[in-house]
Structure 1
């Protein structure tokens, strides 16, 4: 098994990333996942089915075992959804550029993440799929970019049919998870270190007392 270590884990452990696909039904979540996993575009798929996929790859020369949950296309809150929202480490929120309603539903999925996790710092990548269907476009690329800036997350327009930018999406999410983990570790280390100014204030009275004695 490839070597890799989760922050704080033992050396040699393989790092697993739990990723969750979110988005309205019919936007192409399953097609994106299948293209990423097997380089195959599914002709038929039931959008009400949830499925999980695993793949081992290297990203930035580091091993990564991806556990991808492809969810059904409803934004309603359920006990099962609560469970995988808590377990997921990063989320890909998808819409179709040919379906403005699916674009509006992106906010519902983002709010659902916050409702469960109670933080805006969860790693997210925003995706506008079906970019090959330019003649049917209902959502401009600028609108997608603006929403991604609001979410402070990476944004891609993809085509699952032609496999455009599919790998980039999953790689970007893993990078977001790694970046936020490193930031969290650095923040903890910084918090645990005593501030030099405090030590100076504590030491200065003793230094003055010692000088007066000598």
Structure 2
């Protein structure tokens, strides 16, 4: 069975843990408890193929930023999360994106950008178009999500698996050819 390691990154309080726990355990976390590092595993079907997701939920607080690169080294794909109700978290997206590419020593890597907390429309500080524009500039998928309502959570996790498959499939084909 295919196993995929996804790392969820973003600023503090953007809902990384809430998204992860809601999708993988169908439970909505209402209390904010800063994460240092949590790992979750769940088997899901993506495009009718079973996948064992290994999801690393990371610290968003600045005091843990030194650990960020260690998390990134093991990831095969990344969800970069910001809160639509926190412009400061949105302003962190470019730095997180560039850090992933630097750590992975790559010009392109499987990344999906998520504008979380879209249920908080009255508190919106980042427009849908601003989120789409950043994702488009990086040529990566973009979704607005809500851990509370589950909006687009399944789509986001399925999309990152698809993005990972795009880069893994050519490698697998080459390795099979070299055995012959």
TM-score (norm 1): 0.77
Superposition RMSD on alpha carbons, in Å?
Answer: 1.8
* Larger Rg, first or second structure (1 or 2): 1
- Cα deviation for residue 159 of structure 1 reads 0.8
Mind listing any 5+ residue stretches in structure 1 that lack a counterpart?
Answer: 1-13, 193-214
Q: Distance in 2 between matches of 1:153 and 1:19?
A: 15
SS of the aligned residue for 1:163 comes to: coil
Tell me: higher relative CO, structure 1 or 2? Use CA pairs within 8 A at least 6 residues apart. Answer: 2
SS of the aligned residue for 1:58 comes to: strand
* More off after superposition, 146-155 vs 45-54: 45-54
Q: Distance in 2 between matches of 1:68 and 1:30?
A: 10
1:167 matches 2:141: no
Equivalent pairs counted in the alignment come to 175
CA deviations on 1:122-150 (whole Å, 9 max, x unpaired) are: 10000000111111111110011110111
Q: Distance in 2 between matches of 1:117 and 1:77?
A: 17
Q: Distance in 2 between matches of 1:42 and 1:21?
A: 16
Q: Distance in 2 between matches of 1:65 and 1:32?
A: 18
Larger strand proportion, structure 1 or 2? Answer: 2
- Cα deviation for residue 77 of structure 1 reads 5.0
Mind listing any 5+ residue stretches in structure 2 that lack a counterpart?
Answer: none
Q: Distance in 1 between matches of 2:3 and 2:34?
A: 26
Question: Where does residue 102 of structure 1 map in the other structure?
Answer: 89
Q: Distance in 2 between matches of 1:139 and 1:84?
A: 27
CA deviations on 1:71-105 (whole Å, 9 max, x unpaired) are: 00046652x43332111000000000011000000
- Cα deviation for residue 25 of structure 1 reads 0.4
Matches within 5 A, 1:3-14: 14=1
Question: Where does residue 16 of structure 1 map in the other structure?
Answer: 3
* Residues 77, 112 of structure 1: 8 Å contact kept: no
TM-score (norm 2): 0.90
Distance 1:77-1:120 versus aligned 2 partners, 3 A rule: farther
- Cα deviation for residue 111 of structure 1 reads 1.6
